[in-house]
Chain A
C-alpha cells in the first residue's frame, strides 16, 4: 500500500468479493449470464437483462477501447490533490460491458488521448487487499 493513500478505497461486498480477489490476482473478472450468454458490469448475482440467477464469472481479456474520458484539474476529493491533472474514463471492454476507470501511463492532455483508442488493463495495488483495475494505451 502506498503510504498515506487517502483516496476512496472500495470495500468488497457480498456480490463483489470475487471481483476484488480477481483484481488482487491480476485478473479482471466479469459476471456473465449463462442464459443470455452475455457479460455484464458491475458484478451482481442477478442478470440485469433477464433477471435470472444463472450467472457465472469469466476472466476478461483486459482489452478495451476508450468510450469517453475527461481531464480533471480541480480535485473533487482531497485524496486526488497530488494527482491532478488525472484522466477518469469509461472504457468499453472487448466482452461488451462498459466500466469506469482511469487511463494511466499517458500524458493528461486531450491531444494525447482519444475516444476509441485501444487500451489494456493494468492493476494498481492500493492496499494489501485491493488492487484497482486501470487502463493504459495498448
Chain B
C-alpha cells in the first residue's frame, strides 16, 4: 500500500512550470499526431521559458517516448511510456515527481497528441486480449457502448429520472463553460435543456450530448523541482498530491459499475496534500461522458454513492455556480482527441495562474485534476496549488 508518510514528504517538491495545447485544436487534418505532440511540447517549454536541451525526462502515452523524443530532438535520461488510457498523462505527473526527487531527471516533459477526428479508423484488435473474445463480438466496442452499460446500472440503483436530469445538468453546464472558451469546439454553440432531451440516442441511456467530442488535439506539461521552478518564466504551480491506479481492463470485469478507482486515488491525493474536498476551488474531472462525472464525483468523495444528482442539481457546476467544474468546457464541449486527461491539468494550471480570461474564477488557489482511462478502468488524481 502507498506509504503516506513518504508521500507527504513529496508534496510540493515539484511544480508544473509550463502548459500548452498544440497550435490548433479541433480539426487538424493536415497534421499527424506526432506533430501535435511536438507542437504542444515546444509551446509548453516556451511557456516555461525552458530550452528543450534541458529536458531530461520524457513521458507520453499512445506513442513510445522514443518516437516523441526523436521527433523533437530530445535525448532523455529518464523515460516513461505508461499507457493506461486517458488518465495516463495525469498519472505521469506522479511519476515525474518521483523521478525528479530520486534524481533521475530535473526537467520532465509530458506530451500528448492525437488526431481522433481526422483518423477515425480503429486499430485492429489484438486477438489475445479478453476484449476481442468476450466483448467486441457482442458489439461492446468503444467507450460509448461500455459507458452506457455502466450508466444504466447507476440508473437502476439510484433512479432513472434523477440520473437523467443530472446527466442533462452536466451536459448543459459544461456547454456554458465552453461558450466562454474560444478554443472550445462548441464555443459558438449554446445548448438548452430541451435540445439535450430532444437529441438523438447514441447508446441508450446516452443521448449524443452525453458523449464527448472526437477531435484532433495535443497538449504538454513541463515539470521541474520546486527549487528550479522559481527561476522559470512564470514560476511554478505546486504539485501537492498525486495518486493513481486501476481495478480492471474490460468492462464486465469492473467490480462495481458505479465506482471508479477514484475512490482510492482521490482520497490518497488529498491526504498527501493535507487537504480536504472543501479546500478546493476548482474540480477538473475527466468527462468522457456525462455519467463519468457523476460516478467520479462520488468515487472521489465529493458526495456519497447515489448523491451526485443532488450534488450537481440546479446548474451548480455552471459558470456562477458554487462548484465550478470543467471550466474549459470539458471533453464534452471543448476538446476530446481520445485520451483527454492532460487537458484537465492544462486548464487547472491556467486557472491557478489567472490566465483564463472571461471564465477566470475568483480566488482560485487550489484545484484537483482527475483523469479516467480505458473503460472506467484507471484513474489519476493530482492536487495543484498556486505558489
A-side interface residues toward B, CB under 8 Å?
A: 7-13, 16, 41-42, 67-77, 80, 83, 85-86, 88-90, 98-102, 110, 115-116, 126, 132, 134
Contact = CB atoms under 8 A, between A and B. Distances in A.
A8 B132 contact: yes
Contacts of B205: 70, 110
A76 B156 CA distance: 24
Given A76-B139, A98-B252, A11 B127 contact: yes
13 contacts: A8-B132, A13-B127, A13-B128, A42-B134, A68-B150, A68-B152, A69-B152, A73-B202, A74-B200, A77-B139, A88-B138, A115-B153, A134-B138
Interface of B: 122, 125, 127-128, 130, 132-142, 144-145, 148-153, 156, 200-206, 250-253, 257
A88 B140 contact: yes
Nearest to A108: B204
B157 to A, nearest CB: 9
B152 to A, nearest CB: 5
Nearest to A70: B148
A71 B132 contact: no
Counting chain A CB atoms within 10 Å of each CB, the highest count among B122, B151, B156 belongs to B156
Contacts of B204: 70-73, 85, 110
A115 B132 contact: no
B133 A7 contact: no
A77 B252 contact: no
A76 B142 contact: yes
A69 B150 CA distance: 8
A73 B200 contact: yes
Contacts of A69: 149, 152
Given A70-B205, A71-B204, A77-B139, A100 B133 contact: no
A35 B133 CA distance: 27
Contacts, number: 114
Given A73-B200, A90-B251, A11 B133 contact: yes
In the A-B complex, list the 10 residue pairs whose CB atoms are closest, starting with the nearest: A68-B153, A71-B204, A11-B127, A8-B136, A70-B148, A10-B133, A100-B252, A73-B201, A76-B141, A115-B156
B153 A100 contact: no
Contacts of B150: 68
A100 B202 contact: no
Contact of A16 (B122, B133, B145): B133
B136 to A, nearest CB: 4
B288 to A, nearest CB: 14
Contacts of A89: 149
Nearest to A130: B137
A89 B148 CA distance: 10
Given A7-B137, A115-B156, 17 more contacts: A9-B137, A11-B133, A42-B130, A67-B153, A69-B149, A70-B151, A71-B204, A76-B139, A77-B141, A80-B139, A88-B139, A90-B149, A99-B252, A100-B250, A100-B251, A115-B152, A134-B138
A74 B202 contact: yes
A79 to B, nearest CB: 8
Contacts of B252: 41, 90, 98-100
A61 to B, nearest CB: 19
B139 A75 contact: yes
